[in-house]
Structure 1
Amino acid sequence: MILDLSFYFALFVRRLPYFLILTVAGTAVGVGLALTLPPTFQAEARLVVESEQIPDELAASTVRTEASEQLQIIEQRILTRDNLLEMANRLNIYANREAEEGEPLRPDQIVSDLRERIDIRMRGGSRRGTVNATLVDVSFTASSSALAARVTNEVVTLMLEENVRMRTGVSGQTLEFFEQEVARLDEELARRGAQIIAFQESNKEALPDSLEFRRGQLAAAQERVLQLTREEAALLDRRQGLVTVFETTGSVGLLAPEARQNLTPTELKLRELEERLASSGAVLAFDNPRLRVLRAQIEALKEQVAAEAAATAGVTTADQKSDAGLSLYDLQLADLDNQLEFVVELRSEIEAEMELLLATIEATPANAISLDTLQRDFAATREQYDQAVANRARAETGDIIEALSKGERISVIEQAVPPENPTSPDRPRLAIAGLGVGMMMGLGLIVLLELLNTAIRRPQDIVQRLDVTPLGTLPFIRTRVDRVKRRLLLITILAFVGVAVFGGMWVIDNYVIPIDRLFEAILERLPNINFSIPAQDS
């Protein structure tokens, strides 16, 4: 199939009035927008995030927020509803617009409009191991260059104040936390120390540090008990021997030297045997042969002494001697009993002391575990306390660094100044865009009309539809008057369209709604179009 360009060109020429009408209309709209849209100015300030002024090795700040995160937090805090409304009222951003409309704007409209017109962009920072300076561009768009610069500088001031407030707030909260932590751990340390002292005071007799000393005391007491037991056994033996001698001889066998001078040789012999029996009786058994011999000799001597006494009529009777011997026996027996009682009492006291020592020794392991637990808790609390004190010192240093603005900070590189030329609208571009849109609409209309037209307009259509070959074709020939009339009509229509578009836009802009407001209303209903016209302000 061969494309017949001459035919389509003829169709275009035939539909040229429609194309020109839409092209003129689009161009008129573009030119009208370029002429009627109010100029807008965008002021811009530049900030930089500076690193810490003091090396971390010497003194570190306690604020560890990344620059990007910090700037995002600052942006969100600045763009809060309350801050934006307060700034709009203080700077009278919408004073002219409210005067024109005769009623104040709703708070939601103000907040939404300011959030669209305030632009905060970050550049640089750490990316993929490359460390670059973090730059922040702050801009604001307004219909007045002075207002744009004033609002931009106000936003910069709010960012600097919020940065200082946030960093000092974080460092202050950190310091306050560690001060509270130190106070809490100090009280906890004192409480645990008091628990250890109270435990040691209540268990001072059973503490592990005196265990070896008490074991030595227990061993000495056991040795002393054994010694007293042996002394008791010896005293009991002596007492038993004394009783045995007295029961056997009737005397204790002990006389003073003065009494011995008055005795006869037989009586002296008898006393010697009695003394020997008394001394041997304390060592030998009662039925020992030697003791039986001594007792037999003593009986024989007693009989001999009795015979001699009867013959000489001595002054001392047997009853008197018996009384004297019995009195000496009682004294010796009482002395032995006193010694035995003392030994028994002393041993009872030592045994009671041994029981106490044994109880404290048995309680020492449990006390050692409890004391070790208390001391371990005390040591852990002390370690936490020392760490908290060290952290508080670092927090104090970090708070001083932030108070003096020696940590990471945001500095202004370039203040916003009123721009000399408006940044929008781009009037030539709007006019060209209107021309292009009009031409596209004209071409679209021509294509649509031709697609909807089913009439036969060339010989090929007759052949294709009727299968008949025409002999010839006669074109429609316009006279010169027809051509002139047609051109005048086209010029009139084009002029009317241009004037109507311009006039309509002027009437709408001055008596109905400003063109920029109309565009805003249209764009609110077309959220997918990324195009905005700033609201008119002061």
Structure 2
Amino acid sequence: MEIRHDADEREAKLADIFAIVRETVRRRWLTLLIVTAVVFVPAAIYIMRLTPIFQATARMRIDPSRNPLANTATGASAEPSSSTIDTEASAMNSVELARTVARKLKLADNPEFNGALKTGNAAAMSTAAGRESAIAGSLLAGLSVAREKLTYVLDVQYRSPNPVAAARIANAFAESYIESRVADKAGTASRQGEWFDKRLADLGEQVMAADARVAQFRAQAGIVGSDPLGEGGTIVDQQIAPLTGTLANAESDAAAARSNLGAARAQVSRGGLDAVSEVLNSPVIADLRRQRAEVLRDTAVVEAKFGPKHPESIRVRDQLTSLDSQIQAESRRVVNSLQATAAAAEARASSLRGSLNNLQTQRERDSRAAALASSYEREAAAKRALYERMSQLSLGSTQAAQVSLSQAAIIDRADVPTHPTSPNRPLLLALAAIVALVAGAGTIGVQEAMAGGLRTSEEVQAQLGVPVLAAIPNEKARNPADILIDRPTSFFAESLRIARASILGVRDQAPPQVIAITSALPSEGKTTTALAFARTLAAADAKTLLIECDVRRAAMRHLVRTPATSTGLVEVLQGKATLTEGIVPSDVPNLDQLLVSVPFYSAEDLFGGEEMRQILDAVRAQYTHIVLDLPPILGLADGRFISVLADAVVLIVRWGVTPAAAAKAAHSLLRNDGGNTVGVIYTMVDSSAEVMGGLYYSKYYAKNYSKYYNAE
């Protein structure tokens, strides 16, 4: 239920807004129409007179595969980046390319472009370069180069009033761009080739010098390998490795010899020479021992046979002694040989160790030389690599200078357009109509905002807190109050009767007798309304008295049809005339009037005393209703003194004119003074206004209300 309530409120607000817009347009339709026409007609004329523009498009593709040098070292094709495509598109908008196209198509003789020569700077136009620049600038104004989304295709578009010229120029730009790229690339490659050749000659000399220095240093340092710090090394490096092995073997042999010698000495000390292992293992000693054994066996036989003193026995014993001597001598020789071997092995190891130490010292000196040689070798290698790279680049430049292909290719030539691309007259006319309508709406909107007056019953209720008693339509008559006499059944007269019913009430209750009609500001229709209202009361058979209290204007005498008198309210208040002399009958039955004969300007306080109260007390018994035409509340004090004497005060508000702040201030003053403000009467209301029933009145007045009112 709550959601539905919110929806109803929104619909009501939208309806209110629509009603306000509708009412505003209804009242100010002529202004809206005039402003819309003033804006739209010149715009439409301008649009219809616009020169049609034709656009021709040539399509190009940036294709790196067309360049034989566009492959990388791995064989992959070099694809252009997005920035490369955008750069190429920008390059086509260059002034130099436009000059080339202008010369190619001889545009200096074309009226479409040579007009720039007349409007340019005279000094600049005196030179050929200045004239070419002017034509190029005019040519570039119609050119646009755009990339098709994320593709490698460029759209070369040219706009011109001449469709043939548009196609020719678009194709010329594409062709000239390709030609310029080929020429630029060839020229650049040629210049690069010359530079590479000169650079290669210098690098060749540097490489030769570096190689010579490396070779010389290697020879001086004794470096025999290709890598001073690698496998080859110096001569000393080659000597150290085998010498180290030999030294190790020599030290091993010396240790073995020392060990054998020590073991032999230990065996000799324990059991004599015969216990030495080398002695036991000696083949000479073994043979001698075998001979001794044979001799010893023969000795036993001989001694047994011949006796110990026999010569044969003595010979055998001498032979045995000789063999023992030989065995001892051989044993001592074996032991001495072990000692000599140990000494020789030690001497050999010591000699090798000394040689190795000398080589190590030499190697340390050679290491520093090898490091320097390695530096020379790396420098030479770097120069050789640079030379090889420079040779490759030089070869590429030489080939590029001979290539006549471009990375760009035309895939679609521009055709002569058959229909103009601009202006889009229907669209422009529609936009002009919208702008004109917006201008008209803005104008009446500004008028409404500047008006700032009250217009609806809701605004009066919200600002003043009192109801709208009636809305009196705007009439073009010189004196609208006379409509009550001339056309008593008109809607104007009925509006006054509605005001009478609202003020007096329709129920059986005591109506107000003294009714004061005032306004916040002058020229609100207060006096006319007071006269018309008094006539309305009199027409209802109520004896009515109209008192004009706006003494400074004294405008009532010009509105009534009775002749002016020399005696009026001012004279009665001053005591110069009696009340009976001041009151005169009007031109309407049951209506008397007490007017102001002439405007009264004086510092005298006419209404500050009891005179006005006494007048009202005197006439209450004679009249059913007394209508007071008060002066405006703001800026004058007279109306405030009189308003407190009335039974009801009606505030006149001119529809759409009286500022809300003024009406609110006047109502506050009346309320603070003790006046009984019963409501507001709108005057001079547009017949189509919401307060009058909106468009319903204007639509149905003649048809449906003719039976109620006589509009003639």
* Larger RCO, structure (CA 8 Å, separation 6 or more): 1
TM-score by length of 2: 0.38
Answer 1 or 2: which has greater helix percent. Answer: 1
TM-score by length of 1: 0.49
Flag the structure with larger Rg: 2
